[in-house]
Amino acid sequence: MRLKKKGMQWLRVLHILSISIWLGSVVCIGGLAAMCFFQLNESEFLTVAPLIPELYRSVVLPMAIFAMIQGIFYGFFSNWGFFKHRWVVFKWALVILTGLCTGAGGIGQMFSVLEKVEKTGFAGGWADGGPVLLFISLQVLFMIIMIVLSVFKPRKRDRQASLA
Ligand code: HEM
């Protein structure tokens, strides 16, 4: 079964909506994390910083899962398929990398900083926040690359034509 024109348009609306919420939330989480590491004292940090994994769990994760379900829909029910276009394959790879930078990166690192602060105190700044902020920036970067890929949809044939 293939989706018809209207179905594809609605899928695109849902896709753009969910990835906007996903990217927007990650940018806001990045802003909140920067405030936590650069502007708060230890007790404020221990109150606010646990909200970051919570935001990932309650807002980012559902949107990421929703976007991946749409990716599966594109794969099975549209002509885009899973492996027909290199940019689509590349998007799957970037989605997996973004997932790793979220789970093991942003969230995992935040839990280890919280544990460290409880044991040995809060240093703040890049000393405590470096890895968390790096992984959040990577998530944003990968998502921007996915948006560029999706809009330009680079094809082999286009490149060959432009070289000719
Ligand atoms: C989970 C894997 C994903 C797959 C398999 C996938 C696949 C696709 C496909 C096939 C289209 C083309 C729809 C069309 O033109 O009718 C599309 C559109 C788009 N995707 Fe994804 N996508 C995925 C995740 C993402 C993510 C995470 C982002 C952003 C961070 C994203 C950004 C976009 C954008 C902006 C468009 C609209 C492009 C346009 O209207 O020209 N996608 N996606």
Question: Per residue of the chain (164 residues), what is the pLDDT tens digit?
Answer: 899 999 999 999 999 999 999 999 999 999 999 999 999 999 999 999 999 999 999 999 999 999 999 999 999 999 999 999 999 999 999 999 999 999 999 999 999 999 999 999 999 999 999 999 999 999 999 999 999 999 999 986 666 666 65
Q: How far is CA 35 from the centre of its chain?
A: 20
Encoded tokens for 95:
């989605």
Q: What number does the ligand 1 atom closest to the CA of 82 have?
A: 5
Distance 114 CA to ligand 1 centre (A): 35
Q: Are the CB atoms for 79 and 34 separated by under 8 Å? A: no
103-125 exposure pattern, b = at least 16 Cβ within 10 A, e = fewer: eebbbbbbeebbeebeeeebebe
Atom of ligand 1 at shortest range from CA of 92: 2
**Predicted TM-score of the model (pTM):** 0.93
Closest residue CA from atom 35 of ligand 1: 147
CA of 1 relative to ligand 1 center, distance in Å: 20
Contact by Cβ (8 Å): 88, 81:
yes
